Structure 1
Amino acid sequence: MALSTQTMTDEQRKSVALEYLKAFDNGGVTSGGGGILDLFAEDAQACFPKWGLANGKAEIGKLFGDVGGTIRAIRHDYATFNWIFSGSDTVVVEGTSYGEHQDGPWRAGVPDWGAGRWCDVFEIRDWKIQRVFVYLDPDYAGKDTARYPWLAKA
């Protein structure tokens, strides 16, 4: 991991995290026209449920390709985000989303137990994401009823 050379404010870290989320909503393209991987440090880490830990940009690209290949469209509800700042490089954001997965649509709160609620934990230094761990239910379409029988009754 590279040594930190630039001091960033919480608002600057927030702007990097927002750019990351907006790039997902824009098919992996940032507002400047670059790719989402441009937002990451070379030795960054990312973790996604049911995929695991990705080390470095190449593995993160594979993670995003695998997961993104199952999602036809996604939108994050920016107006309702809850931001938590630690006073260090860590930024936590929880929010909701909606979209279309290959197995069907999802929207946070419809049904209440369904997909769409998520939390991301970032470490951001030198205008680059050093680490992002994503916490959500990857069963976007709510089809995992064999393992969770109460869902079939909902």
Structure 2
Amino acid sequence: MTPSSSFAPSAEDHKAVAVDYFKRLDTGRDLLDLFDEEAYVCFPKHVPARGIEEVRRLFTDIGALFTSIVHEIPYLNYITEGEFLVVEGFTHGVLADGTAWHAGQSLGGRFCNVFQIRDGKIHRLFIYLDPDYGDADTERFPWLRS
């Protein structure tokens, strides 16, 4: 490698950033240093966040929904392409109101995240999941009543 060439991170480097993100999220540790100052984050039913202060607010809002959350890291599926990493997996935990969920035992808890990681920082994160972890939205989805 010549001095002018840049280091190209591997898929394993990107996975390490994502795993660190999930571990910090699950343990309530600060995760903002994993994000670029101008990061863009989308979570369902929340205003998209751009920049570290809005990202902080988004995760504070989301964190208030839970007393615990666990991403089942050993069972994550990864797809990588350049700066992009797609992570699919399962969660379990307890909502702030005491409702427990466990993917595979309840309908909530399945997710897919799309990360764009550049220079070891998360530049873009789109979180795809059903935010109705407790299957409480029976008004719009009557099959949940049975």
Please give the TM-score of this superposition, normalised by the length of structure 1. 0.88
Looking at structure 1, the residues matched to 72 and 10 of structure 2 have their Cα atoms a distance apart, in angstroms, of 24
Q: 5+ residue gaps in structure 1?
A: 30-34
Looking at structure 2, the residues matched to 6 and 127 of structure 1 have their Cα atoms a distance apart, in angstroms, of 11
Number of equivalenced pairs: 140
Aligned pairs for 1:96-115 (under 5 A) are 96-103=90-97, 104-111=99-106, 114-115=107-108
Looking at structure 2, the residues matched to 132 and 52 of structure 1 have their Cα atoms a distance apart, in angstroms, of 13
Seen in structure 2, the aligned counterparts of structure 1 residues 132 and 151 have a Cα distance that, compared at 3 Å, is same
Q: How far apart are residue 7 of structure 1 and its match? A: 2.4
Greater mean deviation of Cα atoms: 5-14 or 94-103: 5-14
How large is the Cα RMSD of the aligned pairs?
1.0
Q: 5+ residue gaps in structure 2?
A: 1-5
Task: Pick one of 102, 110, 118 that aligns with 2:111.
Answer: 118
Q: How far apart are residue 6 of structure 1 and its match? A: 4.5
- Corresponding residue of 2:88: 94
Residues 75-103 of structure 1: CA distance to partner in whole angstroms, max 9, x if unpaired?
111111110011x1000000001000124
Task: Pick one of 114, 136, 142 that aligns with 1:143.
Answer: 136
Residues 17-37 of structure 1: CA distance to partner in whole angstroms, max 9, x if unpaired?
11001111111x1xxxxx200
Residues 58-86 of structure 1: CA distance to partner in whole angstroms, max 9, x if unpaired?
00111000010111101111111110011
Looking at structure 2, the residues matched to 150 and 39 of structure 1 have their Cα atoms a distance apart, in angstroms, of 40
Looking at structure 2, the residues matched to 22 and 91 of structure 1 have their Cα atoms a distance apart, in angstroms, of 17
Amino acid at match of 1:126: D
Q: Is the 8 A contact 1:6 1:125 kept in 2?
A: no
**Runs of at least 4 residues off by over 3 Å:** none
Q: How far apart are residue 151 of structure 1 and its match? A: 0.5
Please give the TM-score of this superposition, normalised by the length of structure 2. 0.92
- Corresponding residue of 1:24: 25
Q: Is the 8 A contact 1:107 1:115 kept in 2?
A: yes
- Corresponding residue of 1:50: 45
Residues 91-136 of structure 1: CA distance to partner in whole angstroms, max 9, x if unpaired?
000000100012411100113xx11100000000111000110000
